[in-house]
Chains A and B, each alone.
Chain A
């Protein structure tokens, strides 16, 4: 049984189709990538799976561990083990890094939290009591999000553009964290238009105009993504020849 099954998923805004009849399966413990140009519908897809408030008016079914979760709110999905890291993580005035990570930690174990922060490159002594406000860079907030995901022991993690706005060293730490999640049997879905991030995945879906136009092992998707997608002059126009 797949961990997550998407059946006939569609979403429209003002008669514009954003996601068009997607059918995808995700199995446990695999790293997936959803790749495609800006505006392809990748982030919308992850927002739908997470159940974010502006993405609830869908058609089709989202089935997690054999049961439909269409009516589940974000927190219910979170409790079931689905979580997400945002492309641009939120800031929280006054809320400390420790309190943020601790909030999602099932065992509230301070030592584990400290070790996890260290793992993502946020030295606890330096960061634990800092607020998640404008004094924290985008890269630091991305690492923090990942730390909060690592401690919650999820089943499915959606990472929206994990490499945006961060340096090479931070990216390596993020890849390291992804590998740890995989070892724990977590399913990871990388939402990306970056070749570097795509290469971390095992299996990829190529998305354009809200449709999956190709899928397969990453080795199969990379050449097409490199040759066509990255240089495509028509942003977000599917290559019909390829589909045929």
Chain B
């Protein structure tokens, strides 16, 4: 692939992601752009190291944020495939060294997928007093021919903070199976959120697990899912607490319409008398009062439903 081809692919990926290309021209912003198994572009900044190996059907990346380094502007990552078919495997080892801080904004772009598998496996270690946030937005096409299989194991050292947000709202989901597991040491804080909008024959499975093993560790697992037509969603959120003053909450909200099916299985497992975990799950159609309030302002039932679902998934 020539440099011209790279530039063209980057342009297309960013167009589909609805992102301004100017952001990757900013020298103060680190970025990594991967198409298929090729690194199309990367830019590192002081304090961020990245070792990348191109594999047969993906890449392996080791990303480290140096101790005490505060990276103020979010690192931009783009993974994608423009062809209709293929496999993209991403293996990531992310280390946030003590007292470092970084946010990553990742766009995963598969606009024409007919038969694509996007597999991601991440090992993340957030060291003491470090802060890491990861926002992943998926942009899919309308054919639904894609399997997304993200898996992450996260270790939070004492006093560290970790926030992750997964968004798949635009285009068809296809099939997605999220499997994240986080272990939280003393006074660390974890916040994991998934927002997914399924339709047609989409299949959604979310498994988020948090283990609050350290004293005063805190964690929240949140899932906001909308399914319509024949889509199916299964949410398994598990939060365990085994240390004094560990605090956690599991929250699952699912809106279903048409012939869609949704289930939520929150598991809270508390093994210390001074720990406390709560959970809340709500599955149902759009609330009638919400709907009729908007309809009384002149919106059609479909417009009202769309507004309510978009609000929930925001």
Residue B295 contacts which of A78, A99, A131 (CB distance < 8 angstroms)?
Answer: A78
**B289–A90 CB distance below 8 A:** yes
Does residue B298 face the partner (Cβ distance < 8 Å to A)? yes
**B290–A83 CB distance below 8 A:** no
Distance in angstroms between the alpha carbons of A4 and B12 in the assembled complex: 57
Does residue A204 face the partner (Cβ distance < 8 Å to B)? no
**B311–A99 CB distance below 8 A:** yes
**B311–A74 CB distance below 8 A:** no
Min CB distance A123 to B, Å, is: 22
Does residue B312 face the partner (Cβ distance < 8 Å to A)? yes
Distance in angstroms between the alpha carbons of A73 and B304 in the assembled complex: 14
**B289–A104 CB distance below 8 A:** no
Nearest to B302 among chain A residues (CB) is A75
Distance in angstroms between the alpha carbons of A132 and B200 in the assembled complex: 29
Distance in angstroms between the alpha carbons of A52 and B313 in the assembled complex: 26
Does residue B308 face the partner (Cβ distance < 8 Å to A)? yes
Distance in angstroms between the alpha carbons of A100 and B308 in the assembled complex: 9
Q: For chain B residues 163-222, which have a beta carbon within 8 Å of chain A? A: none
Q: What is the size category of the interface that chain A forms with chain B? A: 20 to 34
Does residue A77 face the partner (Cβ distance < 8 Å to B)? yes
Q: For chain B residues 257-314, which have a beta carbon within 8 Å of chain A? A: 287-290, 292-301, 303-304, 307-308, 310-314
Residues from chain B with Cβ under 8 Å of A103 in the complex: 294, 297, 299, 303, 307
Does residue A217 face the partner (Cβ distance < 8 Å to B)? no
Residues from chain B with Cβ under 8 Å of A52 in the complex: 292
Nearest to B300 among chain A residues (CB) is A75
Residue B308 contacts which of A53, A73, A92 (CB distance < 8 angstroms)?
Answer: A92
**A90–B290 CB distance below 8 A:** yes
Known: A83-B296, A90-B293, A93-B253. A53 touches B311 (CB 8 A): no
**B297–A131 CB distance below 8 A:** no
Distance in angstroms between the alpha carbons of A73 and B41 in the assembled complex: 55
Distance in angstroms between the alpha carbons of A91 and B294 in the assembled complex: 12
Residues from chain A with Cβ under 8 Å of B311 in the complex: 92-96, 99, 131
**B308–A148 CB distance below 8 A:** no
Known: A94-B311, A94-B312. A86 touches B289 (CB 8 A): yes
**B307–A75 CB distance below 8 A:** no
What mask results when residues 97 to 138 of chain B are scored 1 for a CB within 8 Å of chain A, else 0?
A: 000000000000000000000000000000000000000000
**B298–A75 CB distance below 8 A:** yes
Known: A92-B311, A93-B253, A95-B308. A152 touches B297 (CB 8 A): yes
Residue A89 contacts which of B293, B295, B299 (CB distance < 8 angstroms)?
Answer: B293
Known: A75-B301, A94-B313. A99 touches B307 (CB 8 A): yes
Min CB distance B64 to A, Å, is: 35
With a 10 A CB-CB cut-off, give which of A91, A95, A106 has the most chain B CB atoms: A95
Residues from chain A with Cβ under 8 Å of B290 in the complex: 90-92
Residues from chain A with Cβ under 8 Å of B293 in the complex: 86, 89-90, 145
Min CB distance A153 to B, Å, is: 10
Min CB distance A181 to B, Å, is: 15
Residues from chain A with Cβ under 8 Å of B253 in the complex: 93
Residues from chain A with Cβ under 8 Å of B312 in the complex: 93-95
Q: Which residues of A contact B (CB under 8 A)?
A: 50, 52-53, 73-75, 77-79, 82-84, 86, 89-96, 99-100, 103-104, 106, 131, 145, 148-149, 152
> 25 A-B contacts, Cβ less than 8 Å apart?
A73-B295, A75-B295, A75-B298, A75-B300, A75-B304, A78-B295, A78-B298, A78-B299, A83-B297, A90-B289, A90-B290, A92-B308, A93-B253, A93-B311, A94-B224, A94-B312, A94-B314, A103-B294, A103-B303, A104-B294, A104-B297, A104-B298, A148-B297, A149-B297, A152-B298
Closest 10 CB pairs of A and B: A104-B297, A95-B311, A94-B311, A78-B298, A75-B295, A74-B295, A94-B314, A90-B289, A79-B298, A90-B290
